Chains A and B, each alone.
Chain A
Amino acid sequence: MEKPVIIGVGMVPVGEHWRVSLRDMAVEALLNAMEDAGIDKVDSLYVGNMASGSFIEQENLGALIADWAGLGNIPAVKVEAACGSGGAAVQEGAKAVMSGLEDVVAVVGVEKMTDAWPSDATRFLGYAADAEWELFHGASFVALNALIMRLYMKTYGYTEEDLAHFAVNAHRNGAKNPYAMFKKEIKLETVLNSPYVADPIKLFDAAPMCDGAAAVIITSKEKAKELGVPKEGMVELAGFWRAIDTINLANREDFLTLKAAKVAAEKAYKMAGVTAKDIDFFEVHDAFTVMAALSLEALGVAEKGKGAMLAKEGQIAIDGDYPIQTMGGLKARGHPVGATGVYQTVEAVLQLRGEAPEGIQVPDAEVGLTQNIGGTGSNITVNILRRV
């Protein structure tokens, strides 16, 4: 089956956007992507969003955003897979194009988190866990990841410092990305001296609460040519899949394996006809440092238990063997939950077009992988993008 291509990308800087609303951000990112693609209309819209109903008391985002972007009476829906909503929305857009039913599809990921009180926001993020068996007991999302981090450190003999390298790497790259929330390098001590949120997770092991929107335009190669898009303007969505795991962490067979990522990656690699070795850079879901380690293991980049070694040894830097979080990752770029997967996609496209900011461009990048986690690993998307 003919693989779809991304012909336009757009985003707004991630941050605490007190002056703008969810719809403002989404429309801006969307129009940026349409302008980048050189088009003024689309056949349909897919919105990646996790919890707009909770954060801003607004659902029905398909209608809201398509209406305010002046897209006319097109099909438009919200796609929800917790913090993995953005990556999933990109896949739904790609499937629509591949089905032949829709020619030119827009995907926008958006989340407005800062309109809520922090403790309420913590509760809303907890909705991605199992309400009856996790949130009921006072489990915040950070707490669930902390249970995983403590077990990871104990099982493989890592320290908090070992994992902190992931945050340092993310900030080093994010410092050069104008769209990142934290454009500032940090030292290991910054991470280690930050206060505990849920031991052993400290403030600097975790991605921030923030607002943001990113968008991509997806179409077929044939249609792209028809629209006059040059070859350099196309990035192929070469392989993609997603899978679920138990929603309740306690019910998982192995707390230290992201089974859903493993399943999704195997399928995506096969569809793209590549292996982990062929990937030039990875945008993994480092909402917490330990998740970056587990992701590298599930994606076949590191053996089980060795993910954190790659950070310790510096192999995850731009000039390392396995660059990750090239534009700051969730930790430094920011993690506007339902938008994150689309940001990752936009960043991968910029890398593959050779348009990444100076200092964080991966030289001659041909293939990139994005991995977007919903829940504590319960709903994971893997997308593989390739230069046409």
Chain B
Amino acid sequence: MGKPMQVARHWRHFEEKYALIGGKCENGHLMFPYREICPVCGSRNVEKHKFSGKGKVVSWTIVRNPPSGFEYYKPYPLALVQLEEGPVVLAQLTDVEPEEIDFGMEVEMVTRKVREFDEDGIILYAYKFRPVLKPQKE
């Protein structure tokens, strides 16, 4: 498993995975990822909506026995992040030590490498979240 010939599959999700673009239905329900039918009200009138990328950690774990293809990164933190606009996304946390992670920690989206396939395979990039950078106090 893990054959690299999946270019089209990943290309289909560039907007979501690079720019955090989800959906907003005619009744104002926000969703991520984008879908054609609003899961809340059933509206089929859904437009693209770009999220700010700011959010808070709802829950997190440290993946120690990853699925094949992710061994290189282990152990890595994975979290449910609630975006400031409401929807929750699952993503890896980055630029953070496991013991620094806490409930409600403020995070922001960054683009990072998520996975690299075998030698001649594709490299997948997508959103991860890091603690919000604050100016250092003197």
* One of A4-12, A68-76, A177-185, A192-200 at the interface: A192-200
* A363 lies within 8 A of chain B by Cβ: no
Do the beta carbons of A137 and B33 come within 8 Å of each other? no
Tell me whether A137 and B59 are in contact (CB under 8 A).
no
Whether B51 sits at the interface, judged by CB under 8 Å, is no
Dominant SS among interface residues on chain A: helix
A257 interface residue, CB < 8 Å from B? no
Q: How far is the CA of A142 from the CA of B89 in the complex (A)?
A: 17
Asked whether, in the complex, the Cβ of B68 is within 8 Å of the Cβ of A138, the reply is: no
Highest count of chain A CB atoms <10 Å: which of B39, B61, B91, B114: B61
- The answer to whether B78 touches A139 (Cβ under 8 A) is yes
Q: Is the CB of B59 within 8 A of A139?
A: no
Question: A133-154 CB contact bits vs B (8 Å, 1 = yes)?
Answer: 1111111101110111011001
Q: Chain B interface: which size bin?
A: 35 or more
Pick the interface stretch among A157-165, A243-251, A364-372: A243-251
- Contact present for A123 and B78 (CB under 8 Å): no
Interface of B is mostly: strand
Check A52 for interface membership: any CB of B closer than 8 A: no
Residue B118 at the A interface, CB < 8 A? Answer: no
Q: Contacts A138-B78, A246-B39: A119 and B91 contacting too (C-beta < 8 A)?
A: no
Q: Assign chain A's interface to a size class.
A: 35 or more
Contact flag A138-B126 (CB < 8 Å), given A122-B65, A126-B67, A143-B78: no
Alpha-carbon distance A128/B52, docked complex (angstroms): 30
Q: Which residues 41-98 of A sit at the B interface, judged by CB distance below 8 A?
A: 54
Complex: A195 Cα to B90 Cα, angstroms: 24
**Once the chains bind, are A119 and B63 in contact (CB under 8 Å)?**
no
Bound CA–CA A54/B31 (angstroms): 31
22 contacts between A and B (CB under 8 A): A119-B67, A119-B68, A123-B1, A123-B67, A126-B67, A136-B126, A137-B92, A138-B73, A138-B114, A138-B115, A146-B61, A147-B61, A150-B60, A154-B59, A154-B103, A196-B64, A199-B62, A199-B64, A201-B61, A251-B88, A255-B58, A255-B59
Residues of B whose CB lies within 8 Å of any CB of A are 1, 13, 31-33, 39, 58-71, 73, 76, 78-80, 87-92, 98, 103, 114-115, 124, 126
Q: 7 nearest interchain CB pairs?
A: A123-B67, A146-B61, A119-B68, A151-B59, A138-B70, A147-B59, A250-B88
